[in-house]
Structure 1
Amino acid sequence: MRFNRSVLAATGLAALALGATTALAAPASAAPNTTAQKVCGSAYKTVNSAPVGSLGTVYLTYNASNGENCVATIRKNPGTAVDMSTWIYVADTDEGGQDYGRFTSYAGPVYVYGKGHCVDWGGQISNVYTQISGSNCASLKESRVTGTR
């Protein structure tokens, strides 16, 4: 019995050490640790998206059962907290919202009722921003702007 406990203890310590080493090792290229559906909710389907430079993507999602849009800005490589934002606005109803702060992975979610309305939305990561105007308006052409602040 004593031998078996020693072997088990040594095996357990080796596995623990290997696990700690693996957990501390940085991946060659980090991937986003979330999705728009995890941020907004599983009933929300992505209907549009736009890159925020090379830093990440802002997603516009829609829930057909309640007519709500949700927007989230997700970093490509999560890490140290940086200035981030996400926003949405429906001009017809003068409704909208935003989320701004220092985040490690994503900004949002922000929800607004948008069924049958054009929406303006966007996001920012560090000093790079993307804004989309007149989006999801059937045959109307949206306007996209990406820049730095």
Structure 2
Amino acid sequence: MRSIRNVAAVGAMTTLLAGATAVFGTTASAAPNVTPQGVCGKAYKTVNSAPVGSLGTVYLTYNAANGKNCVVTIRTSPGAAKAMSTYVYVPDTDEWAGDDGNFTSYAGPAYVYGKGHCVSWGGSIANVYVSVDNSNCASLKEHRVTEIR
């Protein structure tokens, strides 16, 4: 009789855990509220951004403590994986970083040391590409291009 109770208890616990997983699994799989700071880190402050059509936004962030820039491309409506990219480039030092692939909500983060330098950055979602050159520097005028391919 004791083993029947143990089997019943194990069965009930398994059913309870499976039910909890089903209930909480739905919430956990929902798209998170993605922010540039959530992707790059809390110390990174948004210093610039560019829309990727109506599909999302590319964010340029900066961390004053370590002198690094971080770029991330975030979709407006996460969903099925789409081709996405993000990049950041420092022409003075020829340092660059990027990320590309098929993503459900964001591409990145991409980090470079940019303190005291102009940066070029951008990203894409599906067939919409955005690039920003000579950004965040006093001496040069920023140049933005949005292209649909």
**1:147, CA displacement in angstroms?**
0.9
Q: Does 1:101 align with 2:101?
A: yes
Runs of 4+ in 1 over 4 A off after TM superposition: none
Map 1:16-27 onto structure 2 (within 5 A).
Answer: none
Secondary structure at the counterpart of residue 33 of structure 1: coil
Task: Tell me the TM-score normalized by structure 2.
Answer: 0.79
User: What corresponds to 2:78 in structure 1?
Assistant: 78
| 2:11 match | none
Quote the sequence identity (%): 71
Assess if the C-alpha contact under 8 Å between 2:128 and 2:148 holds in 1: yes
Which runs of structure 2 are paired with 1:49-88 in the superposition (5 Å)?
49-88=49-88
Q: TM-score, normalised by structure 1?
A: 0.79
- 1:33·1:78 contact (CA, 8 Å) conserved in 2? no
Q: How does 1:1-149 map to 2 (within 5 A)?
A: 33-138=33-138, 140-149=140-149
Question: Which ranges in structure 2 are unaligned for 5 or more consecutive residues?
Answer: 1-15
Given the superposition, is the C-alpha separation of residues 126 and 88 from structure 1 closer, same or farther in structure 2, using an over 3 Å criterion?
Answer: same
Aligned length: 127
Letter in 2 for 1:44: Y
Cα deviation, residue 31, structure 1? 8.2
RMSD: 2.1
